Structure 1
Amino acid sequence: MQAIRREAPAKLNLALDILGRRKDGYHEMRMVMQTVSLCDTVAVRERAAGFTLRTNGDFLVPKGKKTLEQQAAEAFFQEAGLPMPGLEVLLEKRTPAYAGMGGGSADVAALLRILRDTRCPGMSDDQLERIGLAVGSDVPFCLRGGTALAEGRGEILTDLPPLPPCTFVICKPDFGISTPLLFAQMDGRRLTKHPDVEGMLDALRAGELAVVAGCLGNVFEEVLPPEYKDVFAIRARLMELGALNAAMSGSGPTVFGIFRRREEAETAAAALRGEYSQTYLAEPVGKLH
């Protein structure tokens, strides 16, 4: 059977605020999220039996637990009331891993879109997002895409006017940051700087790119341990290279800068690649469903 393919666009957090810890152990979030053109490709084809996952040609066999993709497929077929066939999922990875860009969640979302389109086209967007939430907090947004306000764990989504045309320079230093570590740093700490989410919403409604950029912010930056100082060095370098503003995405360590013109972004990316090989260009992407 021929494989069915879908792109899996990554996301950036234009604004990320944490309002406190909830009784269920999660944190109450308030974020403005944006889908971008940097993406993986997910392909699915049926096989005789079982579930296999390949990443850039190599079989991925997790130890002791199912992959997020298998969890998502099983949840989909259970929700649809259909028997699960044998599946082979192939991931062509381009989005950097452990980067704060939702690459894994985007892959799950693309898989769910394929299964809905081919197996249960009548399934609603709300149903699909509910399945995605059972796998990960970013999956509902990665299913929807575009520009959105994300609240709760990230699953309460409000569509926003699209970000005005611009180009992102995205730079990931060669280390990862533990998301649980950063959340733990938040607990019991009084934050002094919060992103201007309301200002960003107003600027999106007005279509004012420079004002949107001026409202970028991520509270995780305030609790980064000193060993992650490259995050701030990249942010400062992006500003020197002409970005309207720059910030860390998600729990990092990826930093992105917003540029009004593609040519300026290309020049900045070329300058950064000399020191940081994982440097990319991307544009905003609209809604996916």
Structure 2
Amino acid sequence: MLAERAYAKINLSLDVFGSRPDGYHEVDMVLQTIDLSDLVWIEKTSRRGLEVGASVSHVPQDDRNLAWTAAAAFFRHTGIEASVRIWIDKQIPVAAGLAGGSADAAATLRGLNRLYETGLSLDELAEIGAGIGSDVPFCVAGGCALATGRGERLQRVDHGLRAWVVLVHPPVHVSTAEVYAAMRPEEYQNRAISEEVVTALRSGDVEAVNQLVSNGLTPATLRLYPEVAEVWKRAAHVARFPVHMSGSGPTLFCLVPAQSTGQRLYNAFRGFAKEVYLSRFV
């Protein structure tokens, strides 16, 4: 048996340029790994097939689970017969805009590669992951990256910023497909700000990054889910930092320069929200 960490991500930018012939949308994003994580346990069994379980009951335990899908794709790619059990200790909120399912899938690919000693490179694992979900290739390696296309084309971004992240998860499940479908034509961007975000990251200036963070899905999410708008209003009232949304939401976050500042903000958010997390860049 072995374990792999599955790290969440946040979007530091998310520009949407319109729909594609394949049904996805053309995007330009800066993605950043944070240390909020699930733990994925994988062990060989004496029985044929895949078994998937999780520490929370509302996570699917069949082919609707991306970890299951990732394992099936790994065994198809390698030709190895599947005889494994996967257990996910969930800490990342589900359907939260933090790529929790994609992170579990990526951790499953890395873990199976270790368990069966198949020697696949991260690039090869990312290629397998691209057929599972748009965020999986990024989650395979993590860190910081510029993602384009439908999110599967990655360019690594090296920077030295060590920011802290305070997250608040409103009690609602958001459908990414519904959010994209609800976008209005005037909400599509005609230019990406990713290069400016990357420059700010490399400068090490949290305030500069904070002023640039943007998310083209925010208007659609707030229209569809007024609960998110209400939590955003409360967060903005107590925070002296800008409030941002990750992915299609509903998770909101603030970037802060120090752990002590993050702890104070965490305590303030706990005054009105149950699910609050203090994390940092990985």
TM-score higher than 0.5: yes
Q: After TM superposition, list the pairs within 5 Å mapping 1:2-81 onto structure 2.
A: 3-49=1-47, 50-56=49-55, 65=63, 67-80=65-78
Alpha-carbon offset, residue 261 of structure 1 = 1.5
Residues 244 and 260 in structure 1, CA contact (< 8 A), matched pair in contact too? no
Say if 2:203 is the partner of 1:206.
yes
Structure 1 residues 41 and 189, CA gap change in structure 2 (3 angstroms):
same
Structure 1 residues 239 and 259, CA gap change in structure 2 (3 angstroms):
farther
Residues 96 and 103 in structure 1, CA contact (< 8 A), matched pair in contact too? yes
- Cα displacement string for residues 99-141 of structure 1 (whole angstroms, at most 9, x for unaligned residues): 0000011011111101112224421222100111111111001
Unaligned stretches of 5+ in structure 1? none
Mapped to 2, the partners of 1:47 and 1:156 lie a distance apart of 35
Mapped to 1, the partners of 2:235 and 2:135 lie a distance apart of 26
Q: After TM superposition, list the pairs within 5 Å mapping 1:1-289 onto structure 2.
A: 3-49=1-47, 50-56=49-55, 65=63, 67-80=65-78, 82-162=79-159, 164-186=161-183, 189-191=185-187, 196-226=193-223, 228-285=225-282
Mapped to 2, the partners of 1:91 and 1:61 lie a distance apart of 11
Alpha-carbon offset, residue 210 of structure 1 = 1.5
Matched AA of 2:36: L
The TM-score, its normalising length taken from structure 1, stands at 0.89
Residues 180 and 220 in structure 2, CA contact (< 8 A), matched pair in contact too? no
Mapped to 2, the partners of 1:180 and 1:252 lie a distance apart of 12
- Cα displacement string for residues 41-87 of structure 1 (whole angstroms, at most 9, x for unaligned residues): 00001112221111117696657x5532222112112222x322311
Unaligned stretches of 5+ in structure 2? none
Alpha-carbon offset, residue 233 of structure 1 = 4.2
Residues 31 and 197 in structure 1, CA contact (< 8 A), matched pair in contact too? yes
- Cα displacement string for residues 250-281 of structure 1 (whole angstroms, at most 9, x for unaligned residues): 01000000011111111111111122111000
Alpha-carbon offset, residue 228 of structure 1 = 2.7
Residues 16 and 188 in structure 2, CA contact (< 8 A), matched pair in contact too? no
Mapped to 2, the partners of 1:24 and 1:201 lie a distance apart of 29
Alpha-carbon offset, residue 243 of structure 1 = 4.8
The TM-score, its normalising length taken from structure 2, stands at 0.91
Stretch moving more, 54-63 or 114-123: 54-63
Give the total of aligned pairs.
280
Residues 238 and 257 in structure 1, CA contact (< 8 A), matched pair in contact too? no
Matched AA of 1:56: S
Aligned-pair Cα RMSD in Å: 2.2
Residues 6 and 114 in structure 1, CA contact (< 8 A), matched pair in contact too? yes
Residues 172 and 227 in structure 2, CA contact (< 8 A), matched pair in contact too? no
Structure 1 residues 243 and 11, CA gap change in structure 2 (3 angstroms):
farther
